[in-house]
Amino acid sequence: MTIPVQQSLAGFIASDADVSFTDAGITRVHFRAGVEHWRREQDGTFTKLDNSFHDLLIFGKTAERAAARFRKGDQFVAHGYVDTRPAEPPARPAEREAFVARKIGHDLARTAYEVDRTPATARQTPYQLDQAAAGATTPPPHDTQRVPTTPPAGATYSTAPRSGTSTGQGIGL
């Protein structure tokens, strides 16, 4: 069996997250991504060239997590595919490329972070645990899955980092 491979993109987040929703109610996040370019010289040194900037799109739960965890300047590695779409007139060129990330995480070679290996059920919010205890077996409709979500009235949530987690230094996806 062959190794399943996909295209990848390594770079840095160059803009704030632009969160929107598709017509089907799926979360869509757009970032501008910067990519550093270097040229190796004959003497073995490297010369930094101009950065290039590209559209980075993420959809679904991965998009929600990326919008919450990535900030301008964060280094990332993503894998997915390049999508070419017609640009809206009078844009030049007539087509615009975007990298659609299926998976994305902080670049561990350039980002310090800790991994939280707590099972996902132990990381659920008190509201999610209450819903599970009440026997909610069907997922909520699309409208209630949109982020940012508003907690139910009277709910309290801690904003302090959990033990063993990063303080915004990276994520382990």
pLDDT in tens, 100-133: 999 999 999 898 888 888 887 777 666 665 666 6
- Indicate if the pLDDT at residue 141 is higher than 50: no
pLDDT value at residue 147: 43
Mean pLDDT, the chain, whole residue set: 79
In this structure, what CATH number is given to the domain that contains residue 22? 2.40.50.140
- Indicate if the pLDDT at residue 136 is higher than 80: no
- Indicate if the pLDDT at residue 95 is higher than 90: no
121 within some domain: no
- Neighbouring CB atoms inside 10 A of 33's CB total 25
Query: What is the spatial distance between Cα 94 and Cα 82, in angstroms, rounded to a whole number?
Result: 16
129 within some domain: no
Query: What is the spatial distance between Cα 61 and Cα 55, in angstroms, rounded to a whole number?
Result: 19
Q: Which of 12-21, 76-85, 94-103, 138-147 is the least confident region?
A: 138-147
161 within some domain: no
- Indicate if the pLDDT at residue 140 is higher than 70: no
66 within some domain: yes
Query: What is the spatial distance between Cα 83 and Cα 112, in angstroms, rounded to a whole number?
Result: 31
pLDDT value at residue 116: 84
- Indicate if the pLDDT at residue 150 is higher than 50: no
Count up the domains in the chain and report the number.
Answer: 1
> What pTM did the predictor assign?
0.65
Query: What is the spatial distance between Cα 156 and Cα 91, in angstroms, rounded to a whole number?
Result: 47
Query: What is the spatial distance between Cα 32 and Cα 46, in angstroms, rounded to a whole number?
Result: 25
90 within some domain: yes
68 within some domain: yes
For tokens 């930094």, name the residue: 48
Query: What is the spatial distance between Cα 114 and Cα 168, in angstroms, rounded to a whole number?
Result: 10
24 within some domain: yes
Domain span at residue 29? 7-112
Q: Which two tokens stand for residue 100?
A: 């659609």
- Indicate if the pLDDT at residue 12 is higher than 60: yes
35 within some domain: yes
